[in-house]
Copies of this chain bind each other. A is one copy, B any other.
Amino acid sequence: MCQGVKIATIGGGSSYTPEFVEGLIKRYDEFPVRELWLVDIEDGKDKLAIVGNLAKRMVEKAKIPMEIHLTLNRQEALKDADFVTTQMRVGLLDARIKDERIPLQYGIIGQETNGAGGLFKGLRTIPVLLEIAKEMGELCPRAWLINFTNPAGMVTEALLRYSGHEKIIGVCNLPVNVKMTLANLLQVETERLHITFAGLNHLVYGLDVFVDGESVLEEVIDILSDPDKQLSMQNIAPIPWEPAFLQALGVVPCPYHRYYYKTKEILEEELESFKSGTTRAEVVKKLEAELFELYQDPDLAIKPPQLEKRGGAYYSDAACNLMSSIYNSKGDIQTLNVRNNGAITGIPLESAVEVNCIVTKEGPQPLAVGELPVSIAGLVQQIKSFERVAAEAAVTGSYDKTLMALCMNPLVPSDRIAKKVLDEMLEAHKEYLPQFNRESI
């Protein structure tokens, strides 16, 4: 990284890219990016041009010597990169709409990172990421692969187990969001707050919360028992937790835990959206169209504020912080998806977990958590098993593994429905699941 950093961003035409570019501009002094390569595929050429031009205007306005390259040639972008970030959506938002609507059609939860929808997003995404990791082995073997693509847990699991590449990190904006929300609720600066995060992506718990080194866990749980103050996110219905449940749980849940502890309420809510044609994917599709409208404005040279509604706030922040901490060997604590390595007892050493890590030039190293409380260990183990079978299904294209993954998932309450959903989704996403159609080649 002698003469400035080279970053390759796969899925560069994403609507998130302006936030990412803003993050790089903000940190330019400490983290001097020389080249940012935005890569996309043929189908995304137009979006890449729009976003790329906005990026160029932003850099120009900021007066920093960061080169923005737009390309459909991934190999060119990967060549000698220091960091590769991946944020693509295989099948675009239309595929997400299917991920959400087909399960709901059969009366089960449809969502981008959980249940049947999450599984199919994984099946489409994992083979592409494995291919990228393989190319990195040849073109930039010492680069870090930093993935934001959902379902990040399943994807990181697959990359750790099936790519030969060792430098793999999964990033999610959720822990940062939780931390900022709690800091706000407690009215302390983020720096004074420490949360012992542990679990899996979108299934991470705050095992303890400290202000200035003293635990304030009980206070936090009391605060969260007030429905108006609970943690939520743009893309999850803000159904309040039962206060007695929070007390019984004894740790801080994340917003996605609602899928598992409030399955019934979430399902009802989603069925409403299904009927009104306003599932999250449909809402997002509309938002994105509006964003790209904005991005085309030749006078726009900053990240437009409307982007924050999109749902991924802090994603790019999380990624930029990570890269800068590696580059500068900062040694700060970040919550990342990495190889467990014993940090959480009862989860395989080789599996991905989401856990606090110290980040230095050597990369992230997870802090040892030990045993999870019994009351949460079982769910974490079950979802990890699901992710392992799902990752294997994605790699092998096995119908049996895929059906099994679905039947293991707590959001799928019937083997019969599982099969119906599976068959319809395999057909609907056929084009993006070549591994399932080997005989037809």
Contacts and interface: CB of A to CB of B under 8 A. Distances in A.
Contact of A419 (B244, B249, B356, B381): B244
A332 B356 CA distance: 15
A392 B250 CA distance: 15
A213 interface: yes
A209 to B, nearest CB: 11
A168 to B, nearest CB: 15
Interface string A368-403: 111100110111011111101100100000011101
A368 B381 contact: no
A414 interface: yes
Nearest to A239: B416
B333 A245 contact: no
Contacts of A245: 403, 407, 415, 418-419
A399 to B, nearest CB: 8
A397 to B, nearest CB: 14
B400 A263 contact: no
A261 interface: yes
A422 to B, nearest CB: 9
A210 B414 CA distance: 29
Interface stretch (A25-33, A341-349, A431-439): A341-349
Interface residues of A, number: 74
Contact of A331 (B331, B410, B413): B331
A40 B49 CA distance: 76
Contacts of A377: 381, 385
A426 interface: no
A360 interface: yes
Interface string A337-357: 001111111100100000010
A358 B210 CA distance: 16
A407 B261 contact: yes
Contact of A378 (B212, B349, B365, B386): B386
A408 B385 contact: no
A378 B385 CA distance: 5
A275 interface: no
Contacts of A331: 331-333, 358
Contact of A414 (B263, B333, B382): B263
Contacts of A264: 107, 413-414, 417
A353 to B, nearest CB: 10
A265 interface: yes
B262 A414 contact: yes
A248 B407 CA distance: 9
Contacts of A361: 194, 210, 212-213
A241 interface: yes
Interface in A222-256: 241-242, 244-245, 247-250
A366 interface: yes
Most B CB contacts (10 A, CB to CB) among A244, A249, A360 go to A244
A424 interface: no
A341 B356 CA distance: 14
Contact of A416 (B265, B342, B366, B407): B265
A370 B353 CA distance: 14
Contacts of A332: 331
A367 interface: yes
A31 to B, nearest CB: 15
A382 B378 contact: yes
6 contacts: A210-B362, A213-B326, A213-B362, A242-B415, A365-B368, A375-B389
